[in-house]
Amino acid sequence: MNDAPLMSVRGLTVDFPLGRGGLFGKPQMLRAVRGVDFDLAPGRTLGLVGESGSGKTTTAMAAIRLAPASGGQVMFDGADLMALTPGQMRQHRRHLQVIFQDPYSSLNPRDRVGAIVREPLDLMDVGDPAGRAVRVEELFTLVGLRRDQMALFPHQFSGGQRQRISIARALATNPRLIVCDEPVSALDVAIQAQILNLLRRLQGEFGLSYLFISHDLGVVQFICDDIAVMYLGEIVEMADRPTLFSRPRHPYTAVLLEAAPSLARRKSQGYRRQGIVKGDPPSPLNLPPGCAFASRCPQAQDRCRAEKPALRDTGAGKVACHFPL
């Protein structure tokens, strides 16, 4: 396997303006993503996990320039996406696609699904018109839909079928990287398994790389090769799947694993659920000087409250903690 990453992100930051604090106050900025670094290898799946509001989706969308980044570098296929003009970025867009969370709102209800899948081919001028029609038929078969369904509208499909249409649309331009933004969270459990198996099969057939966003650690354990745990806009731990699930090093990762219903362990004395994260995270507008998780961490010491830990290599992964587990 090629050792060079397909995507390499360094120092990615995203700021959102919040307006002025009063009539004569200074403009306020919310830093939603704070200096994120990660590498995504060809043919692998990197999961971004964390609580709601941790910056998972914002990080992924900023990395592929579907959301504005305030700083950082994103190397993809030898080019820094952050430095490209809109015209240059358009040339790379066909290699970067997205599967959105909600299959009910991500498809245009006024268009027939065949036209929806074909739209990226027309917009990016991929192939000739006759070849595009053939490609759409191939894509429907590839994701487990019938060709005669191409003339139907989105409302005539179930949620799982709509997500298959979304996957077909994402595959249309033969992308190298697909961002999966919680692609199964709106589906029933049985349908989730079908979609996840489809994504894994397509990855094996076409060598796709996935940037997979999810809050469901059971889903992450099934599909991801590597995992980055985010908290308040920062990555606090990174490791491959076996390492992270068997030996988490950051206290936040440990309590996430213990609190996940899909990973609940049954002890001899019956079901127990331990390690629930207590308290609320600090305001992102007024972060403490030390570790942002210190106020909720059962392992916190004075150094944690005074000194911010850096993301450092532990040999089996990376962790941002002064006293890793």
Quote the tokens at residue 218: 């059971």
With cut-offs at 50, 70 and 90, classify the pLDDT of residue 1: very low
Find all residues with CB under 8 Å of 71, minimum gap 6, and list them: 11, 12, 13
Question: Which of 79-83, 112-116, 252-256 is predicted least confidently?
Answer: 252-256
Name the β-bridge partners of 65.
Answer: none
- Span of 21-35, 41-55, 194-208, 260-274 with lowest mean pLDDT: 260-274
The span from the CA of 244 to the CA of 229, in Å, is 10
The full set of domain ranges for the chain reads 107-172
- pLDDT at position 39 over 50: yes
Q: What end-to-end distance do the CA atoms of the chain give, in Å?
A: 32
Q: What does the buried/exposed string (b/e) look like for 9-19 if buried means 16 or more CB atoms within 10 Å of the residue's CB? A: beebbbeeeee
Exposure class string for 136-156: b at 16+ Cβ within 10 A, else e? beebbebbebeeebbebebee
Q: Tokens 């899948």: give the residue.
A: 117
Sequence letter at residue 154 = P
Average pLDDT of the chain to the nearest whole number: 89
- Provide the 8-state DSSP code for 27: E
For tokens 């207590």, what's the residue? 278
- Pick the closest to residue 117 from 68, 157, 154 (CA basis): 154
| pLDDT at 268 exceeding the cut of 50 | no
Query: Quick one: what percent of the chain has pLDDT higher than 90?
Result: 66
Separation in Å, CA 17 to CA 20, 228, 283, 284, 287: 9, 26, 15, 13, 17
State the average pLDDT over residues 84-97. 91
| Look-up of token digits 């590839």 | 142
Considering the entire predicted model, what is its pTM? 0.90
Confidence of residue 22 (pLDDT cuts 50, 70, 90): low
CA distances to 31, 91, 122, 123, 277 from 98, rounded to whole Å, are 24, 16, 17, 15, 31
What pLDDT score does 265 carry?
47
pLDDT at 4 over 60: yes
Residue type, 117: V
**What gap in Å lies between CA 49 and CA 54, rounded to an integer?**
8
Residue 230 structure tokens:
């985010």
Higher pLDDT, 268 or 71: 71
* Chain segment 293-309, per-residue pLDDT in tens: 988 888 888 999 999 99
- Give the whole-angstrom CA distance, residue 297 versus residue 154: 46
**What token pair was written down for 14?**
């995203």
pLDDT of residue 274: 44
pLDDT tens for each residue of 235-244 = 999 999 999 9
Residue 317 has pLDDT above 80, yes or no: yes
- Number of other residues whose CB lies within 10 A of the CB of residue 237: 28
pLDDT digits (tens, 9 = 90+) for 119-177: 999 988 888 888 899 999 999 999 999 999 999 999 999 999 999 999 999 999 999 99
247 or 264, greater pLDDT: 247
Is residue 17 scored above 90 in pLDDT? no
Q: Which residues, other chains included, contact 37 with Cβ-Cβ below 8 Å and sequence gap of 6+? A: 9, 10, 11, 12, 235, 311
Instruction: Note the pLDDT of residue 263.
Output: 64
Pairing of strands 312-313, 317-319: antiparallel
**pLDDT band for position 79 (cuts 50, 70, 90):** very high
